[in-house]
Amino acid sequence: MSDRAGLSDRAGLSDRAGLVGRDRLVGRLGPDALAELDQRLAPVDAELLRRYPGQPAGRQPVHTVYVPADRCDPGLPARWGAAALAALRDHPPLPYPVELHERVVDKLGREPVEDLRIDFEDGYGLRDDEVEDAAAVRAGRLAGAGLGVPFLGLRIKSLTGPVRRRAVRTLDLFLAALRSAGELPPAGRFVVTLPKVSVPEQVEAMVLLCERLEAAYGLPTGWLRFEVQVETPAAVLGPDGLATPGRLIDAAGGRCTGLHYGTYDYSAACGIAAAQQSLAHPVADFAKAVMQVAAAETGVRLADGSTNLLPVGDTAAVQAGWAEHARLVRRGLERGFYQGWDLHPAQLPTRFASTYAFFRHGRAAAVARLRDYLERRSGGILDEPATARALAGFLLRGLDCGALTEAETGYHRAELSAM
C-alpha cells in the first residue's frame, strides 16, 4: 500500500476531501465563512478590547500616604522622611537586613512619600462648612504650588446623602484654587479618592461630576480621574449575589484608576471584632480576591489597605509595629497588591525595605527564567508567553520602585516594556 493510500484509509480522506498532490492538504472553507465569523465576532472583539485593555503603562506608587487636610503643608514629605530616619536611629536594631539600609536611607531622604492623599474624609472628620471651605482652598493652592511628591490627590467625603453636598463643594473649591494657583499636575499623576462606594450609580454620579467640573474650569476632557474605595460589603457582592467591582469599573467609563481596599470599615461592616480586624483576615482576603479578578486586565490598579498598629511608643512597641507592617507589606506583594496605605512616618522604613527585599529576592530567578524563555531554552520551568510578560513586569516594577537597576536586570527598560 502506498503512503498516500495508507493516509487516505487511516484518515478517511480522498482527493475530493481535500488531499491534493502527495503532501499538501487544502481546506474547504472559503473567504465567505471567514468573513461571516469576522462579522459575528467584531463587536465582541471591540467590547473585549474596551473592557480589558491590559495593564496600564507607567509607574505605580508603592504606597499612598493619607494625611488630614489641616496637617498638609509644603514641608510635609521632608518632615515624614526625617521622622522615619529618626525612628530608625532611636529604636535599633534595624527592622530589615543591613544590606538594604543604604537604599532605604537614600529613599527616605530623597522621596519619602510617593503618593500623597490630602484627606477630607475620615482622617479629617466633620467640620463647620466655613472651616472645610478654607481648608479646601488652601489644599488646592498647595497642590498647585507643588508638594514635592510624584503622585498627588485628595479624598473627598462620600456621595451618600448626608455628606454629598459637602463632598462636591470641597472638590469644587479645591479645583478653583488649583486652577488659579499654577500649572495642573500632569495627567495621570492627580487623582480623587471616592470613599464608601456601594453601587454603580454612585460611580456614574462621580463621572457626571467630573464632566461638569472639567467643563466649568476648562480642564482637558478626561483629566479628572478617581479611584474607588472598596470598604462596604455591597461594593464586593450586591444583593443579587453578583460581584460588584466589575460593575463599578464599567460605570466609571474609563475614569477609574484604582480600587483601594478599606480595611476597617469593611471588616467592621462584616461583623469582625475590632481586635481581629486586619489585612490578613479571611474577610479581607475574600474581598481583595474579588477585587483582583474584577480588575484584571482592565487597566485599573489595586491597592491594599492600612494597618492601624503603628510603630510608636517605646522600642519594643516600635519593633512590634515594624514587624507587623513588614509582614503585611510582604504578604500583599506576594498576592499581587503592589501598593498599600501608610498612615504614619515610622511605617515608611518597612514599606520601602519590604518592597525592595521582595523584588531583590526574586530578581535572579526572574532574570534567568526570562532569559531561558527568550532563548528557547528549558531551565526546568516551561514558561508560556503570559508568564514571560509577568516576569518582565516584575522586573519593571523593581526598576520603578528603585529596588533594581537596569544592570541588575540585564535589560533596558524599553526592552522589558516591549515584552
**pTM score:** 0.90
Range of the domain at 390: 364-418
Q: Are residues 277 and 398 in the same domain?
A: no
List the CATH number of the domain containing 147. Answer: 3.20.20.60
Burial 279-317 (b: 16+ CB within 10 A, else e): bebebbeebbebbbebbeebbbbbbbbbbebbbeeeeee
Which of 359, 376, 405 marks a domain boundary? Answer: 359
| pLDDT tens-digit readout, 240-261 | 999 999 999 999 999 999 999 9
Burial 186-202 (b: 16+ CB within 10 A, else e): eeebbbbbbbbbbbbeb
Q: Are residues 266 and 389 in the same domain?
A: no
Q: Are residues 411 and 289 in the same domain?
A: no
When pLDDT is cut at 50, 70 and 90, the band that residue 21 belongs to is low
C-alpha Rg value of the chain to the nearest Å? 26
Q: Are residues 237 and 287 in the same domain?
A: yes
Q: Are residues 82 and 193 in the same domain?
A: yes
Q: What pLDDT is attached to residue 345? A: 98
In a domain, 53, yes or no: no
When pLDDT is cut at 50, 70 and 90, the band that residue 376 belongs to is confident
Q: Are residues 254 and 399 in the same domain?
A: no
Q: Are residues 271 and 159 in the same domain?
A: yes
Q: Are residues 5 and 113 in the same domain?
A: no
| pLDDT tens-digit readout, 271-324 | 999 999 999 999 999 999 999 999 999 999 999 999 999 999 999 999 999 999
Q: Are residues 131 and 13 in the same domain?
A: no
Nearest to 400 by CA among 323, 289, 304, 301: 301
Which of 359, 382, 405 marks a domain boundary? Answer: 359
Q: Are residues 244 and 371 in the same domain?
A: no
Which of 340, 359, 378 marks a domain boundary? Answer: 359
Neighbours of 62 (CB within 10 A): 25
In a domain, 12, yes or no: yes
Q: Which residue has the higher pLDDT, 92 or 11?
A: 92
In a domain, 298, yes or no: yes
Q: What percent of the chain stands above pLDDT 90?
A: 86
pLDDT, mean over the chain: 93
**Cα(344)–Cα(306) distance, rounded to whole angstroms?**
10
Q: What pLDDT is attached to residue 3? A: 41
Q: Are residues 353 and 386 in the same domain?
A: no
Element (H, E) at 310: none
Greatest extent of the chain over all pairs of C-alpha atoms, in Å? 97
Q: Are residues 375 and 264 in the same domain?
A: no
Query: Locate cell 466655613: which residue?
Result: 130
The identity of residue 379, as a single letter, is G
**Domain total in the chain:** 3
| Averaged pLDDT for residues 209-220 | 96
